[in-house]
């Protein structure tokens, strides 16, 4: 890994105030991303992956508390920025693409209006040049620049088109970091592939650093340089994509991979894996490994303490008490 | 941080207990409900606890100020009016009129409006179109004006005022009942009841109505408040119930002649009216808060 | 959009027709108009004579069609009390009521909308609680009593406002406050809940993510969406205020249509009562149609489709 990572997150905690107490959505999360690299954060719903992204952007709901030892993007220390300075960065240096294209654009304003206002805000452009640039960007994301597009309202566009508008809008000010929170989940499968292709292409072309959040391991294999697997608010395993997919170390990652059919390997009619049990309650403190209740290898020690994230020589990080080799041979 | 939370297994309270818990913690309900309760008790017991006959005139003790003003005495804590009648006694008997009118009007309009609303929501189609149109027409009719006109032409009495207001204030019940019925009409338990052969009347009474009650109670309180204000306004304008009945509206109208020298004659009955309406509204708003599927905030 | 407008206009006409029928029925069939107009001292012969003179002896539907035909030509008959054509009386009084209604609506919107917006931006704070109290207060205070209290407080203690009468702008100030106060609560509450809803929506999160300034997020993106239902409610409230102006005009002796209504009711002047009730209903029907049209215009999902 590079000496000065572009994004550096250390000890990120996000708590939500809920009726039953304090919900620990993200616990002690740490990761670094190099310039131009794509990190995929994988996990099931409620694992804290979206919260991590929103926490980084400072877009958490009002009942959330964020704390961290370090939160850096480029040479900006996000922890020391006030709301106004943060707003200057958002959309300019770091941008975010959301999951719901149908509801993420304002129904009351035209596409052109919503796109140009960003350029007017961050690049101090005039209205006309902003609209011209917006039209160019629509072309770039595969929306032919027919005259009327900029004057259309979001409800006149399909989901796929809206997500293209969203991508164009968020990339227009050439941010250095883009956070994509399941940008394809709400779309049709054929559209999903197009959008993914578009996003990955633009990311490479512009050299943008990307955090891509998904629950889809197929997507991970196509775009990620590195993967962080989250479970119950914690990163349980992190490493290079190829290695993680080929040789998962944490029992949860392994379970996750067994749930996915592999073309050519999984025979028709064969049983896909499932992970028994459910995610533990995130309200209150964990008393041991979060996965212990569902882990086929859990031992007494797993319930006594939260395993630390150990770093191996090759850079792989795993949060498990046992060395994998011992685990798999015992199994 | 809070280890106890993770380990103690929470006991699950019954829905009723949860509701009562919310009610007892809701400041608006406690405050509003408390004042309404006091007013109801005073109104019911007025003949027993009022210090004087509210109609007894005494020309020697006219316009005595209340006890906190110069010249007031505990003999007449709220003073006397221009005919020497004890103001506190009139106020207590006036509460009876306001509450009777409020309750009876709310009952009549509640039955009328809820029936229309449930029928519209449950049967849908043309029935719904017709009833919705009826509600639209009703909304277009100026309530106070029509109430004034009809009461004036028919003659002001408690019964007339109640009947007229009952037929003028039902629309809110119809709107709410229709909306709720539409929501629950196709729920599985209604379908199930239909499938096992329950009659329509039975489904409406035993399946639909109980689900409406929460919202209807809220509308009931708010309609009661409107009825009380409108009655007072009619009586104030000289077109409601007739003197010497101690309606608060009449008391304010009579006090108006003396507004420059004895403004308390207007302030006291008005304050009572304001307090009653305010408390009923607080009670209604509070009930809406606690019965809403998710409490606000 | 054109089809929508035509349908809405058709509905308004149908409602107006029904209201005219109801009004007529109420004052001519449920009660005997001759009896009501003659007064208590009249003999049977007097009443019968009046019945023939006013045409009350003809069948109800004939009288209704007759009345409707005249009304459509702008003729509401002659007021037996004022001795003038009712349409003249109404035209004479209309400006006062329209001025009062417009001022009161403006007052309610100017107070209600900002309070609602601020309450939604700072929920559960002191300012939220204050604006909620204003709403509760405005909802509960009986307007005739509020008028008298303002008269006691302002006009008597500080005699800057006229207590009654129709003399220039200053005589509208107190009536405007009283009438407007009743309309503040619904406008304020709806603005608040609308803003709260919108502020938690996905597109507001997008607006923050774009790095827009709070001013742009709150006013350009949030308020624009939240205001749509508020405009509709403000129009309905305006219509209600015309109808509710009777009490306020009576207390402040403002010579508008409300006052005319009050005078005609006191004198059992049936032609005038009929006309005034119909006029107020038409106000409401017109305003609610207008509010639907404005709603459709403000929402691009309805306008552009």
- The pLDDT tens digits for C178-204 are 999 989 999 999 999 999 999 999 999
Query: How far is A63 from chain C, CA to nearest CA, in Å?
Result: 12
Which range of A45-54, B288-297, C235-244 scores highest in mean pLDDT? It is A45-54
Write down the pLDDT at residue B6. Answer: 43
The residues of chain A scoring below 50 in pLDDT are 1-2, 330-331
Query: Residue B296: closest CA among chain C residues belongs to which residue?
Result: C193
**pLDDT higher at B269 or A307:** B269
Chain B residues touching C163 at Cβ < 8 A:
none
Chain C residues touching B137 at Cβ < 8 A:
15, 18-19, 22
Chain C residues touching B148 at Cβ < 8 A:
246, 261-262, 265
**pLDDT higher at B82 or B99:** B99
Write down the pLDDT at residue B204. Answer: 81
Residue written as token pair 């280890």 = B3
Chain C residues touching A166 at Cβ < 8 A:
206
Chain A contact present for B186, CB below 8 A: no
Write down the pLDDT at residue C33. Answer: 74
Write down the pLDDT at residue C3. Answer: 82
Query: Residue B1: closest CA among chain A residues belongs to which residue?
Result: A285
How far is Cα C242 from Cα C101, in angstroms, rounded to an integer?
6
- The pLDDT tens digits for B60-77 are 877 888 878 887 788 888
Which of C153, C188, C247 should one mutate to test binding to chain B, selecting the residue with the greatest count of B CBs within 10 A? C247
Average pLDDT, stretch B208-233?
90
Write down the pLDDT at residue B233. Answer: 92
How far is Cα B124 from Cα B126, in angstroms, rounded to an integer?
6
Query: Residue C243: closest CA among chain B residues belongs to which residue?
Result: B142
Q: Which residues pair with A13 in a beta bridge?
A: A67
- The pTM (predicted TM-score) of the whole model is 0.84
Reported confidence tier of residue B10, pLDDT bands at 50, 70, 90: low
Q: Which of C103, C122, C76 is nearest to C180 (CA)?
A: C103
* Statement: residue C161 has pLDDT above 70: no
* Statement: residue C86 has pLDDT above 50: yes
Cβ separation of C206 and A153 shorter than 8 Å? no
Output the furthest CA–CA distance in chain A (Å, rounded).
68
Domain B28-48+79-291: top CATH class: mainly alpha
Cβ separation of A98 and C206 shorter than 8 Å? yes
- The pLDDT tens digits for C133-156 are 888 898 899 999 999 998 888 766
CB A63 within 8 A of CB A5: no
User: How, if at all, do strands A226-231 and A38-42 pair?
Assistant: parallel
Domains, chain C: 2-72 (no CATH), 86-304 (1.10.3720.10)
Residue written as token pair 């991970």 = A220
- The complex's ipTM works out to 0.88
Reported confidence tier of residue C164, pLDDT bands at 50, 70, 90: low
Give the 3-state DSSP-derived string for chain B, with helices as H, strands as E and coil as C. CCHHHHHCCCCCCCHHHHHHHHHHHCHHHHHHHHHHHHHHHHHHHHHHHCCCCCCCCCHHHCCCCCCCCCCCCCCCCCCECCCCCEHHHHHHHHHHHHHHHHHHHHHHHHHHHHHHHHHHHHHCHHHHHHHHHHHHHHHHCCHHHHHHHHHHHHCCCHHHHHHHHHHHCCHHHHHHHHHHHHHHCCCHHHHHHHHCCCCHHHHHHHHHHHHHHHHHHHHHHHHHHHHHHHHHHHHHCCCCCCCCCCCHHHHHHHHHCCCCCCCHHHHHHHHHHHHHHHHHHHHHHHHHHHHCCCCCC
Reduce the DSSP state of residue C88 to 3 states and report it.
helix
Query: How far is B178 from chain C, CA to nearest CA, in Å?
Result: 20
CB B102 within 8 A of CB B225: yes
CB A110 within 8 A of CB A175: no
* Statement: residue B291 has pLDDT above 60: yes
Chain C residues touching A153 at Cβ < 8 A:
300-301, 304
Reported confidence tier of residue C157, pLDDT bands at 50, 70, 90: low
Interface partners of chain C (CB pairs < 8 Å, 3 or more) are A, B
Cβ separation of A87 and C212 shorter than 8 Å? yes
Write down the pLDDT at residue B96. Answer: 92
CB A226 within 8 A of CB A239: yes
Radius of gyration of chain B (CA): 24
Chain A contact present for B5, CB below 8 A: yes
How far is Cα A105 from Cα A125, in angstroms, rounded to an integer?
22
* Statement: residue B171 has pLDDT above 90: yes
Write down the pLDDT at residue C47. Answer: 80
Domain A7-93+175-261+272-330: top CATH class: alpha beta
* Statement: residue C17 has pLDDT above 80: yes
Chain A residues touching C202 at Cβ < 8 A:
98, 100, 103-104
Reduce the DSSP state of residue A231 to 3 states and report it.
strand
Chain C contact present for A157, CB below 8 A: no
Query: How far is C203 from chain B, CA to nearest CA, in Å?
Result: 21
Average pLDDT taken over every residue of chain B:
86
Write down the pLDDT at residue C23. Answer: 87
- The pLDDT tens digits for B227-243 are 999 999 999 998 888 88
Reported confidence tier of residue B3, pLDDT bands at 50, 70, 90: very low
């Amino acid at each position: 890994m590079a000496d000065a990572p572009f994004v550096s997150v250390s000890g990120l905690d996000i708590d939500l105030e809920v009726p039953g107490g304090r919900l620990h959505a993200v616990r002690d999360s740490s990761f670094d991303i190099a310039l131009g690299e794509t990190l995929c954060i994988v996990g099931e719903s409620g694992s804290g992956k979206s919260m991590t992204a929103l926490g980084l952007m400072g877009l958490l709901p009002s009942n959330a508390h964020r704390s961290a030892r370090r939160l850096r993007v480029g040479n900006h220390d996000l922890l020391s920025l006030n709301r106004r300075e943060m707003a200057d960065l958002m959309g300019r240096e770091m941008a975010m693409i959301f999951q719901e294209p149908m509801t993420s654009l304002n129904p009351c304003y035209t596409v052109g209006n919503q796109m140009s206002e960003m350029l007017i805000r961050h690049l101090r452009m005039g209205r006309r040049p902003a609209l011209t640039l917006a039209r160019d960007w629509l072309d770039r994301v595969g929306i032919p620049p027919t005259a009327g597009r900029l004057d259309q309202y979001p409800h006149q566009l399909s989901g796929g088109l809206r997500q293209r508008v969203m991508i164009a809008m968020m990339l227009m000010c050439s941010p250095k970091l883009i956070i994509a929170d399941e940008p394809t989940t709400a779309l049709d499968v054929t559209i999903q592939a197009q959008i993914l292709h578009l996003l990955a292409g633009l990311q490479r072309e512009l050299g943008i650093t990307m955090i891509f959040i998904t629950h889809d391991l197929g997507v991970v294999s196509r775009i990620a340089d590195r993967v962080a697997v989250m479970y119950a608010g914690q990163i349980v395993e992190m490493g290079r994509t190829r290695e993680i997919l080929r040789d998962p170390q944490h029992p949860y990652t392994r379970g996750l991979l067994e749930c996915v059919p592999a073309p050519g390997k999984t025979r028709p009619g064969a049983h896909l894996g499932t992970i028994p049990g459910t995610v533990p309650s995130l309200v209150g403190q964990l008393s041991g490994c979060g996965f212990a209740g569902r882990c086929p290898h859990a031992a007494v020690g797993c319930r006594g303490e939260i395993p630390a994230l150990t770093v191996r020589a090759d850079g792989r990080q795993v949060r498990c008490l046992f060395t994998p080799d011992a685990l798999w041979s015992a199994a | 941080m809070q280890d106890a939370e993770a380990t103690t297994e929470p006991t699950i309270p019954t829905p009723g207990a949860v509701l009562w818990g919310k009610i007892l913690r809701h400041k608006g309900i406690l405050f509003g409900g408390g004042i309404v309760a006091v007013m109801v008790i005073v109104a019911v017991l007025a003949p027993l606890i009022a210090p004087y006959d509210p109609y007894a005139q005494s020309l020697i003790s006219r316009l005595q100020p209340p006890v906190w003003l110069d010249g007031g005495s505990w003999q007449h804590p709220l003073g006397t009016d221009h005919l020497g009648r004890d103001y506190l006694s009139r106020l207590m008997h006036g509460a009876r009129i306001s509450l009777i009118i409020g309750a009876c009007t709310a009952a009549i309009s509640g039955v009328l409006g809820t029936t229309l609303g449930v029928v519209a929501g449950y049967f849908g189609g043309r029935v719904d179109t017709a009833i919705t149109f009826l509600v639209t027409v009703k909304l277009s009719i100026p309530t106070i004006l029509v109430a004034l006109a009809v009461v004036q032409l028919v003659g002001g009495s408690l019964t007339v005022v109640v009947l007229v207001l009952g037929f003028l204030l039902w629309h809110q019940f119809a709107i709410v009942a229709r909306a709720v019925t539409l929501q629950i009409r196709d729920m599985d338990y209604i379908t199930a009841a239909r499938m096992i052969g329950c009659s329509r009347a039975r489904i409406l009474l035993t399946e639909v109505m109980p689900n409406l009650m929460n919202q209807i109670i809220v509308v009931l309180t708010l309609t009661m408040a409107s009825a009380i204000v409108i009655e007072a306004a009619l009586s104030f304008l000289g077109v409601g119930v007739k003197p010497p009945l101690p309606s608060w509206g009449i008391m304010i109208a009579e006090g108006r002649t003396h507004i420059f020298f004895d403004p308390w004659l207007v302030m006291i009955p008005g304050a009572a009216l304001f307090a009653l309406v305010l408390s009923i509204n607080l009670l209604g708003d509070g009930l809406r808060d606690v019965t809403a599927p998710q409490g606000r905030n | 959009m054109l089809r929508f407008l035509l349908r809405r206009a058709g509905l308004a006409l149908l409602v107006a027709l029904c209201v005219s029928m109801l009004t007529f029925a109420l004052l001519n069939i449920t009660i005997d108009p001759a009896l009501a107009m003659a007064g208590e001292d009249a003999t049977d012969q007097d009443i019968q004579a009046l019945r023939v003179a006013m045409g009350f002896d003809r069948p109800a539907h004939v009288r209704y069609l007759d009345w409707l035909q005249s009304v459509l030509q702008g003729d509401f008959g002659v007021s037996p009390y004022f001795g003038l054509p009712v349409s003249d009386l109404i035209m004479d009084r209309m400006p006062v009521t329209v001025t009062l209604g417009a001022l009161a609506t403006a007052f309610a919107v100017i107070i209600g909308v900002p309070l609602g917006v601020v309450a939604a931006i700072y929920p559960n704070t002191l300012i939220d609680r204050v604006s909620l109290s204003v709403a509760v207060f405005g909802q509960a205070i009986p307007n005739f009593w509020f008028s008298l209290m303002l008269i006691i407080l302002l006009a008597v203690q500080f005699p800057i406002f006229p207590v009654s009468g129709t003399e220039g702008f200053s005589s509208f100030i107190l009536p405007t406050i009283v009438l407007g106060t009743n309309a503040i609560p619904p406008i304020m509450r709806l603005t608040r809940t609308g803003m709260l809803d919108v502020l938690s929506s996905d597109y507001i999160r997008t607006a923050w993510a774009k790095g827009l300034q709070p001013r742009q997020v709150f006013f350009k993106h949030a308020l624009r969406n939240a205001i749509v239902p508020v405009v509709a409610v403000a129009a309905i409230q305006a219509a209600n205020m015309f109808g509710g102006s009777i009490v306020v005009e009576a207390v402040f002796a403002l010579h508008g249509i409300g006052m005319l209504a009050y005078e005609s009711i006191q004198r059992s002047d049936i032609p005038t009562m009929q006309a005034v009730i119909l006029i107020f209903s038409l106000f409401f029907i017109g305003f609610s149609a207008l509010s639907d049209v404005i709603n459709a215009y403000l929402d691009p999902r309805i306008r552009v489709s």
